[in-house]
Amino acid sequence: MFYFGTPVALITTLTSADGSTNITPISSAWALDRTYALGVGRDSQAGRNLERCGELVINLPDAALVAAIERIAPTTGAKDIPAHKRGLYRHEPDKWSLGGFSPLGSERVQPARIAECPVQIEAESPSSRPWTVTMP
């Protein structure tokens, strides 16, 4: 099993409304044998997408993609931007063009892979398990 140690992963998920693949930078990702634990905000487009279609690709970028990731960082695929994100994020329906990423058809899941990422992990989520902890 590949225990990756990257500060950012780009997950790609399927937006069912138009069948497009959305790109979301996340840093909350841990590998546990063949299982990956991901922390994805439910109000993000990725979170919404995963509730409808649990298939995704965990794309691991290299340092050459820093500028591309910075370009998509202040954006969301969600048309209705949650209140806490307004002023910080803008809606961007095509992060592929904005970041200069190229879609590559996946072998086992519907969302596309990011061709520029040297590692692409196709995965499916059988369930989403919201668990939160609060410091006493």
Ligand X SMILES: Cc1cc2nc3c(=O)[nH]c(=O)nc-3n(C[C@H](O)[C@H](O)[C@H](O)COP(=O)(O)O)c2cc1C
Q: In the chain, helix, strand, coil percent, each to 5?
A: 20, 30, 50
CB nearer to ligand X: pick between 98 and 136: 98
Rounded Cα gap, residues 134 and 128, in angstroms: 19
CB of 34 to ligand X, least distance (A): 20
Rounded Cα gap, residues 24 and 33, in angstroms: 23
Residue 26-55 contact track with ligand X, rule CB under 6 A, x = bound: xxx----------xxx--xxx---------
Q: HSE on the CB side for 18, CA within 13 Å?
A: 9
Contacts with ligand X in 55-114 (CB under 6 A)?
73, 76-78, 89
CB nearer to ligand X: pick between 82 and 118: 82
Positions in the binding site for ligand X (CB under 6 A): 8, 22, 24-28, 39-41, 44-46, 73, 76-78, 89
